[in-house]
Structure formats: C-alpha cells, structure tokens
Amino acid sequence: MMRKLLITLLLTFAFVSGSIAQLERKPANESQEVDLIFHAPRSINLFTVEPVDEKTLHFAIMHTFGTLDGGIQNLFGLDNGANIQFSFEYGFNDRFSLGMSRQSRDKMYNLYGRYHLLKQTQNDKMPLSVSLMGAAGVNSSNYQFLNEANPNFMERTSYAFQLMAARRFSDKISLQVSPMMAYFTDPNPIFLIEGDQNLYLALGFSGKFKITGKSSITLQYIPNLNSDLRSNLGVGIDLEAGGHVFQMYFVTSQALNDQYLLAAGNGVPGEEFRLGFNVNRVFATGKRR
C-alpha cells in the first residue's frame, strides 16, 4: 500500500518536474478592446464611437455639393457650390477629446467634445461601445443689412447633443444608433435652415459593411422624431489609405454641422441626392518614437 502510494507520487513528481516543453499561450489582456468599429471618428456626417488617441489631432474636411438632378450640365451638382466644413479634434486621453469645426454655410463655428464611456471588448464582456458628444455653436454670418433685426450673439447660438451606441457584430458588420438633439436659441428664418422649431429630436443610424480589408460600404439614416422635415439618408464608401480615410457618399442634405444636420431639411432621395466627400487624417503630436 505504502509502496504503491510512494511510486505513484514519485511518478507524478517525475512528470511535473520533467520540464515543460512549451509555455501555455495566454492572451496578455483577456478583455482586449475591439478595434475599428468604424474607420474614422466620422461616418458620412455623423460622429462615431471611434476615439481620437491621446495626443493626436484628427483633422477632417467635409464637402457636400449641389443636387444631382442638374445632370452633366452642372456636373452632377459640383458646379452649384459646396458646403465645406473643417474640423480639428484633439485627444487629451483615450476617452476624451475636444474639437472645433467651421461650416461655410451660415459661417457656423462649433466647439464640441466627445467622451467615450464604454468600449466593446472582444470577449463580449462589454458588448457595446458608448460615447457622448456635446456641441455649442454660433452663426457668424453678416446680417448687418437687417439693421435692428440683426440677431445678437445669443440669438445666433445653437447646441447639439448625442449619445452614440455602437457594436461591431462581426469582422464585416458594424452598426451604431445615435439618439440626437439640436437646439436653436432663435430659429431665425434668415438662417439657412428649413425648420422653425427650437428643439429637434432625431435618431441617427450608421452602418458599415466591410467589403475588402481597407474599404467599406457605409449607410446613414436619420429619421426626425418631432418635426415634419424629411429624414436624412446617405449611402457611401469608406477607403482607408494608410493614415487617411476617404469617405465618398450620396446624401440628401447639404448640412455638415451637427445642429444643421437636424434642422436644415433634406431633399427627396434619388434625384435630390448630393455628392459628398470627406477626408480624415490623424497627426500624432508630442514625442515620436
């Protein structure tokens, strides 16, 4: 009995101490975050949950042109003048960034911030990425010809707020739902908006369907919840080229600013689509290795 036990123990021991031929492969981080739910901090016109990394600057130029219905005569809307928005967004850390944008239409300046609350992980412990965006803007157009009716600074302000909840469902498919609101202190008819309400509520949907390693089909749909304005619809393609992300799309609105996106109205999908084009670029600042 004793002897048997001892032999067993010795054998076990021989096995255990008989050196391990290979280490067990273990992931360094069990809750590895999911990468690139979207290609860039913007998808068509909407913000995404994609962060701007610490100490990097994200620069985006967005354009939308005239409606397609003029045909080749107007080079499918390119002759009709573009609305252009520049934006710079700086990442203070991996969760918080501040940005500024300027839309040519109504010379809108916007200050905005994004905060990333939750990040989707590969093991699905966290199934969603959730971010918040808040923006405050001012219309800086010259309305001096209106004399007394020239709106003052406060009357020119507007605000936007949205919550973005996104999930990368598979290697190919990512979806985002963004409840959004915009508030105009004074929706003056002289502003280039269609709505006359102060408050606009909408639900933004963004989709990404990856077709190759570095390109995706994108979708955007923004039904208005409390106005009679048409809903925004967009279809596009994202192309990744190293540090740039190019986004080309057809969309029903010329608005690029977040408040204007909800209040400026939309054309009928189809002939009144407009061509749009964004360039996204990141710059690393601080110490380079």
Show the tokens assigned to 53. Answer: 């990394």
Please tell me whether residue 282 binds other proteins under the rule CB under 8 A: yes
206: nearest Cα among 35, 42, 36:
42
Nearest approach in angstroms of CB 32 to other proteins is 5
| Beta carbons of 162 and 176 less than 8 angstroms apart | no
Element (DSSP H or E) covering residue 6: helix 2-17
Counted residue by residue, the chain has a size of 289
**Which of 201, 198, 194 minimizes the C-alpha distance to 253?**
194
Position 11 contacts other proteins (CB under 8 A) = no
For residue 275, give Cα distances in angstroms to 36, 250, 270, 279.
25, 5, 11, 14
Place of tokens 């925004």: 232
Q: Which parts of 211-230 interact with other proteins (CB under 8 A)?
A: 213-214
Nearer to other proteins, 50 or 194 (CB): 50
Q: Which of 15, 17, 148, 149 binds other proteins (CB under 8 A)?
A: 17
Partners of residue 103 on adjacent β-strands? 85, 108
Site size with other proteins, rule: CB under 8 A: 37
Q: Which region among 50-58, 63-71, 151-159, 201-209 touches other proteins (by CB under 8 A)?
A: 50-58
Selected range binding other proteins among 15-23, 108-116, 224-232, 255-263, rule: CB under 8 A? 15-23
User: How far apart are CB 18 and other proteins at their closest, in Å?
Assistant: 10
Rule CB under 8 A: say whether 173 interacts with other proteins: no
244 binds other proteins (CB under 8 A): yes
Q: Out of 72, 149, 154, 241, point to the residue binding other proteins (CB under 8 A).
A: 241
For 143, residues 6+ apart whose C-beta sits below 8 A from its C-beta are: 149, 150, 151, 190
Stretch in the footprint of other proteins (CB under 8 A) among 23-31, 80-88, 196-204, 217-225:
23-31
Contact yes or no for 249/236 (Cβ under 8 A): yes
Interface residues with other proteins (CB under 8 A) are 2, 6, 9-10, 13, 17, 19-23, 25-29, 32, 35-36, 53-54, 56, 94, 122, 171, 213-214, 240-244, 282, 284, 287-289
